[in-house]
Amino acid sequence: MNESENNMKKNIVNIIKNIIFFLFLTGILYFFSKTIYINYDKIKDFEFHFNLPYLFLSVIVYFLFFLSLSVLWKYLLGEKKISFREIFYINSVSWISKYLPGKVAIILTKVLSLSEKWIPKRTSFISCIYEQIFQIIASFLISFPFIIYYFLWTQNSSYVLLSWIFFLWFIVSIHPFVFNNALNILLKILKKEPVEKKQFLWIFAIIKYIFWYSLSMIVKGLSFVFLVFSITNVWIWDIPFLIFAWVFAGVVGIVSVFAPNGLWVREWVLAFLLQFILPVEISIIISILSRLWSTICDGLIWLYVGIEKLKIKKL
C-alpha cells in the first residue's frame, strides 16, 4: 500500500469518526433538549439563589479532589527525581486536554511533558493508562450499591442479576492475570509494545490504588454535594445518592469517548438520576449549572497554569 492510499484510508477513518461524533452528540443533545422543552414552564418559573458559603466550599473540595489525583498519579509514576510541584503542574496542563474529543490528548500531554523531565515515555505512558483505568473502576465500584438499589426499587430482578454478574466480573478483572493481560491487549490495539512482567502492578497494589481512587471519587462527589446545597435544600440522607449521581454521570462521560469531557452525556445522565430525589425542573437546572460550575473550576486550574508559565518566562 503506497503513501497516497494510506492517506486516503486515514482521511476516510477521520471522516467516519467525525460523523459518529456528530451523530452521538446530536442524539444526546436531542434527548436532553426534549426534557428541557417538556419541563420548560416549570424551569422558567423556578426561582433560586446561590448560598455563597456552600458554593465557595464546593470549589475548595473540587480542588482537593484534583490535588488527590495529582498525589495518586505521582505514586503511580514512581519517579522520585520529579517533584510533586512538577507533577501538579503537568497534571494541570493535561487537565485542559479533557475538553478535546477522545482521551488520548490527556495521556499524550502527560507523556510529552514528562519526557522533558527525562522520564521514559514508556514509564509515564503505563502510569497514565493505570490512572485512567483505576478512575473508571473506582467510579463504578462506588456506583454499584446504588445501581442495585435502583433495580430493586423498580423491581427489575433481571437487571439485579446482571448487576451482580457485572460485579463478579469486576472482582475477577482486578486479578493480575486478567488485568495485566487486558492491559497488554489494550496496548496492542494502540500499537504499543506490551508491558513486561516486572512493570505490572500486583494484586495488593491494585486493590490499594482502587481503594485510594475510590476515596478520591468520594471527594469529587462531595464537591457536587456542596454545589447542590448552594442551590436547593436536600435531606442529609440524600448525600450518598448525590455522590453516586455525580460520580456515575462523570464516569459515563469519561467512557463516552466521542464526547469532549462528557459534554451533554454527563448532564443527561445527571438530570435523569437527580429526579429520584428532586423535582424534574430542579434536576435539569442543577445538571446545567454543574457544567458551568465545573468549567469555572477548571478555568481556575488553567489560570494557575498561566501564572506558572509567566513565572518560567521571567526566569
Do 84 and 67 meet the contact criterion of CB atoms below 8 Å apart? no
Three cell numbers at 301?
486550574
pLDDT at 220: 94
Per residue in 218-229, pLDDT tens? 999 999 999 999
Per residue in 288-305, pLDDT tens? 888 888 888 888 888 888
Domain ranges of the chain: 3-314
Query: CA 193, 80, 194: angle at the middle one, nearest 5?
Result: 10
Per residue in 245-268, pLDDT tens? 899 888 877 766 555 555 667 887
Instruction: Report if pTM > 0.85.
Output: no
Measured CA to CA, the distance from residue 117 to residue 115 in angstroms comes to 5
Three cell numbers at 159?
437487571
